[in-house]
Structure 1
Amino acid sequence: MTQTVQATVVLVSAVASGQGKTTVTAALARKLQHQGKRVRVFKTGPDFIDPMLLERASGAPVHSLDLWIVGLDACRQLLAQAALESDVILIEGVMGLYDGNPSSADLARAFGVPVLAVIDAAAMAQTTGALVLGLRDYGPVDLAGVIANRVGSAGHAGMVADALRDVPLLGSLQRQEKSLPERHLGLVLPAEVTELEQLLDQLAEQLQLDEAAWQRLAPTTLPAPVVQQPPAAALAGKTIAIARDAAFAFLYPANLDCLRELGADLCFFSPLADQPVPLDADALYLPGGYPELHAATLAQAANWQQSVRGFHAASKAIFAECGGMMVLAETLVDQSGTASPMVGLLPGQVQMQARLAGLGSQGVATAHGQLRGHTFHYSRFDTDATPVAHTIKHPSGAAGEAVYRVGTLSASYFHAYFPSCPTAVAALFLGLPWEAAPCAP
């Protein structure tokens, strides 16, 4: 007989981006935590910033769930393990409920998870009923209820509740005088938000939750997690230095877990503090982030820049993704048009622009299988360097981001999700080349 685990699980979604999914998920996580519940939060699709905020709200690491990038079985394993360790699991969706392939609705249906719809009710009342019933029936999905965001009063919330017919209004959140600040890639990093803890506590207090309706939510049953064989310790004895500060903050927790499972020791340093790459490191990982906001500081970080050049001259492996690649160019031009000299291992100039330059799930072929991930950037890289490969966009199969290689340096705008192909990741940090063959979507 198959063993199972249970927990209260809901997927928090909406009709579109900008409805307040992250705010409501954070408020709900903090409120439930204050009630003594053990809460775990997941984020649907590729994302770095929202999980940082949700981790602060819930007090636990936030991992990604994506049926293509992470994979069905791995998602099931993550959910089942969380169900063993928590009372409530919140999954924040991406964009609108049915947007994308796979969509948030696909994820909810794959695991029998009910949907909690967030509706921005600021400029409507009875029409919320039409939106909610459409969200429920279009798929359809199992709609657990609604949280009305930006309501003006108790009377306004009552009109919304009456319009929902047979769908319960599980809660409401009043209009906020102070919202979570945003910039071009999403929310401002939590570390930069003053009084964030007080803001989260305030949101939790202001979230009016129908406790009786919440208690009536049926638990979700999942197969118990299975003991998995760890990957071969191909990086045993290797130390990987990882840039980590406000300029290099876009790191999947799962990527760090994967490197440790491969046997690597991890050490962290701050380029913004002009810290050099640790001398005992065997490989260097430069993740994405906001280098464009700190270009002047990075340009003056002479110790750090020289250490990266020396690391490359010593033929040690370097993997740079998105923002990490941007700082390895000769020049970085920020949003104001100011040009700053960078490390110069890659010929060319990175230019920030107002228009989105890349977005979506992608994969790259390697000799060990397909390494999956995504891209999301507002800059372009003008270079004479010839790519050794291109990623392939999912699901279209069109050519995606260029992958560059200079000696033992591999760089791309592509953000890799390491657990999708650990053996390829091990080869990458051992300085071995990526196979340049195209990969299937």
Structure 2
Amino acid sequence: MASSAITLAADAPTLSAANTGFMLICSALVMLMTPGLAFFYGGMVRVKSTLNMLMMSFISLGIVTILWVLYGFSLAFGTDSGSLIGWNSDWVGLSNIGLTELWDGYTIPVFVFLVFQLMFAIITPALISGALADRVKFSAWALFVALWATVVYFPVAHWVWGAGGWAFELGVIDFAGGTAVHINAGAAALGVILVIGKRVGFKKDPMRPHSLPLVMLGAGLLWFGWFGFNAGSWLGNDDGVGALMFVNTQVATAAAMLAWLIYEKIRHGAFTTLGAASGAVAGLVAITPAGGSVSPLGAIAVGAIAGLLCAMAVGLKYKFGYDDSLDVVGVHLVGGVVGSLLIGLFASGHGQSDVAGLFYGGGLDQFWKQCAGVFAVLAYSLVASAILAFLLDKTIGMRVSEDDEVAGIDQVEHAETAYDFSGAGGGAARTVPAPVAATASKKVDA
């Protein structure tokens, strides 16, 4: 017995300063993605909606952080109950957590794990906002974020990543959030827009991005932060899996951007900056669940397929008549589904686990598991989000009035505008000292 105890003590994980520092950096990178998303979305809308779009992302940083501290972390990662939800009363308010208490089976403190996961919880509802541009009351959106995080995100995170969660136990592979983040947000976006309806002038008025440089800046920040989002999800840096994910993140993103641009050139005759940015994000979305399972060549395939299919999917809103303002459904829902399902085909068996996909001799077993996770999360998020939107719309109202929407939601909801040109330009706008102005006026009168 003594020797066994000594062996167990020797094998027990100890706090790693290197992994702890690495994960704190990754957490900061994921936090940066939410402002990056704000810029990405903010550049894609018209001038009169820019600030509102920025604020719809930024408010998530405030609301979800507080909910995570109060009960969100406990619901998502606490002791499992029925394979559907977690709970740990010691984590309510993040109380009774020791400074050096380790996350079970890892070499990082619980505090580091929970703050890393917090950043995922923050950006997921922010992703939804792009589908609702120009027309949602800010107060209603803030309340929706709080309710949606509680009813949808926290339980789904437990299903996918929590010990005892049904998808986790089934063996559904989601390295960094294809189901829990992107399918979850994309399906929610579709559910909400089916309830609140289209923008005024949809399919009639031009609704072009007002600042493509802002879009490219946002896409660049997302790409940069996504290395922390993906590579950090292995929760350490000891065995090379995180490095594989880092490489695959870059490779798939590049392939998706190129595939989107090629499709765009063939279909529409031009390589656009918006297409480059959107293609990059589609690749980032698709590789998020798959990057720990596929080889770099597999990452090229995942990225290229996602870039092509997402480019094709963004036009479906015009065919079917749902107003997905900034293509959250076309990029995040479709990209998340593609990346998650392709694990069942391209998993090499030499990454995060020995699970092999169909093209590597593993048959279709993993593919069917991926289908179960994908379509369960999609259905739950779609229905639950639509119900939440319906209840809010029938009580406090989700939409601004038609007149306010036409006038501009920035002024109505925030009493500000993104760009103030009143002090710029020629001499007429310059401030002139009063005595000089009076003398000039007399000369003119004379």
Q: Do these two structures clear the TM 0.5 threshold for a shared fold by scoring above it?
A: no
Q: TM-score, normalised by structure 1?
A: 0.23
Of Structure 1 and Structure 2, the greater strand share is in 1
Q: Which of structures 1 and 2 has the larger relative contact order (alpha carbons within 8 angstroms, sep 6+)?
A: 2
TM-score (norm 2): 0.23
Q: Which has the higher helix share?
A: 2
Q: Greater Rg, structure 1 or structure 2?
A: 2
